[in-house]
Amino acid sequence: MKPFKGTPLPVRAWYGLPAEIAVENGLWHLVRVAGIALPHPPVVNLILRRGLPEADRLRLSFLHEFGHLQTLPVALVHVSVLLSYGRWRRRGLAKIVKTLAAAFLAHEAVWELASEMYVVANTREEYRQIYWRHPNPGGQLVFWAGMGFLATVCTLSVLRRDQTT
């Protein structure tokens, strides 16, 4: 599966969900699932892939988008845990909104980490060599540390028990 700039490629997740993915450019990516187009800015890919040659950037970005599809069950389990076991009862509107925001951030961070881990697992030595030839230590640090921090802190924030109850 070789990504071509702007050309949607059909893919199928390990659990059977069909989709199309197009890594169009540095400004937009397109994922189409069940006929529903989900265009979005490649924020994570802009951070992680900064300074890479176009072919490597497109390939890793494509795999990252496919990683979202492949790791959707992980993301769904995580968000289910947050919504099922999160602190939602006897809370005012402001605290519910704050908790929902933390749940959203936690979910997004976990899913981004899972998707990039999919890329690493599927490219292994190639991933290491690409970043060895074209270092991006700031982007790597921002992504891995930042997403790890958000995933941990926000998940714990949603799941922690109030000290007053």
164 inside domain: no
Sheet holding 18-23, edge to edge: 9-12, 18-23, 29-33, 36-40
Average pLDDT of the chain, as a whole number: 88
Enclosing domain of residue 93 = 43-159
pTM score: 0.88
Quick one: pLDDT at residue 40?
A: 80
**What Å distances lie between residue 112 and 35, 53, 97, 109, 150, CA to CA?**
23, 22, 22, 5, 11
Task: State how many domains the chain has.
Answer: 1
Please state which of the ranges 19-23, 27-31, 136-140 shows the lowest mean pLDDT.
27-31
Instruction: State how far the Cα of 37 lies from the Cα of 94, in Å rounded to an integer.
Output: 33
pLDDT in tens, 100-141: 999 999 999 999 999 999 999 999 999 999 999 999 999 999
* 37 and 30 Cβ atoms separated by less than 8 Å: yes
